[in-house]
Amino acid sequence: MLQRVTIEITDLTAGYGKKSVLKGINIRVSEGKICALLGHNGSGKTTLMNCINALLKPFKGNIAIMGKEISRLDRVRIAQLVSVVPQSSYSSFSFPVLDMILMGSAARLKAWAAPGEKEINRAHDAMKEVGINHLADVLYSELSGGQQQMVLLARALYQDTPLMLLDEPNSHLDFCNQHRMMELMKEVVKLRGVTALVTLHDPNLALYYCDEIIMLKNGYVIAQGPSEEVLTNVNLRQALGENIAIEGTKGGLQVVVPRHLSICAAETGETEKEATRSAV
């Protein structure tokens, strides 16, 4: 049985003013996958997210979600296909957490219609799914950055779209909650059959939690495909830096580290200069 393609991007060039940030991008992501976008700051990750969500009109090229060209869709239809977990969300007014999540109703309810009991129950289910049901009546503005991030994730789950875009969802989370967030995304993708596209800075999170990886550098896709095929020393050094490498710990765990912090160098007594030189 062939897997359906959730995102198909063809010959996409996009940017701001007259400057191109993305250059001739071609991407396909299948249904039921969690796919990481990896690259330096300025590589085009957020620009690509904005194009997929139709917040930025590309210079040329096409983006299709579930076979539908987004350039031909209105905002309501796009919101039925795409939900977004931003790095943060500022509100001028102080809303309770439940109300923040119910704002995801806009894609389904008619204009001026208020969420009913069914929608409220669904919102509570989404909060339970991410473990924040006890915060339903707490004001969003009083939450920590990590708690706010979980609220934004619950709102995206409540919105119930085939595609979820997560822009650095771990940026406000501590170490344990970063992994909790990624584990949760794996469960959501598996149980709901949705597709998640997530921008990450830590290649270790991509290595252990993502099915596929797309690597960007200077607006170009330099590698894409299954994580175990894409995450190689050659690709890492090209996309993120000459001194980055995958190494094995004594327990057999693979980790991505800067070579000047090399596990192998520490175990063998290799100097920082030698570790750096051997990585080039």
Domains within the chain, CATH numbers bracketed: 5-241 (3.40.50.300), 242-280 (no CATH)
What is the average per-residue pLDDT within 227-231?
92
pTM of the model: 0.87
Report whether pLDDT(194) > 50: yes
The residue with greater pLDDT, 6 or 108, is 6
Lowest mean pLDDT among 228-232, 239-243, 264-268: 264-268
Report whether pLDDT(157) > 80: yes
Query: Residue type at 60?
Result: K
Rounded distance between C-alpha atoms, residue 215 and residue 112, angstroms: 42
What is the average per-residue pLDDT within 54-80?
95
pLDDT tens-place string over residues 199-227: 998 999 999 999 999 999 999 999 999 99
Report whether pLDDT(229) > 60: yes
Residue 253 has what pLDDT? 72
Residue 173 has what pLDDT? 84
Q: What band does 171 get if pLDDT is binned at 50, 70 and 90?
A: confident
**31, 5 Cβ separation under 8 angstroms:** yes
The residue with greater pLDDT, 178 or 250, is 178
pLDDT tens-place string over residues 38-54: 998 899 999 999 999 99
The residue with greater pLDDT, 244 or 70, is 70
Residue 197 has what pLDDT? 97
**162, 6 Cβ separation under 8 angstroms:** yes
Residue 270 has what pLDDT? 45
The residue with greater pLDDT, 178 or 273, is 178
Report whether pLDDT(241) > 60: yes
Average pLDDT, the chain: 87
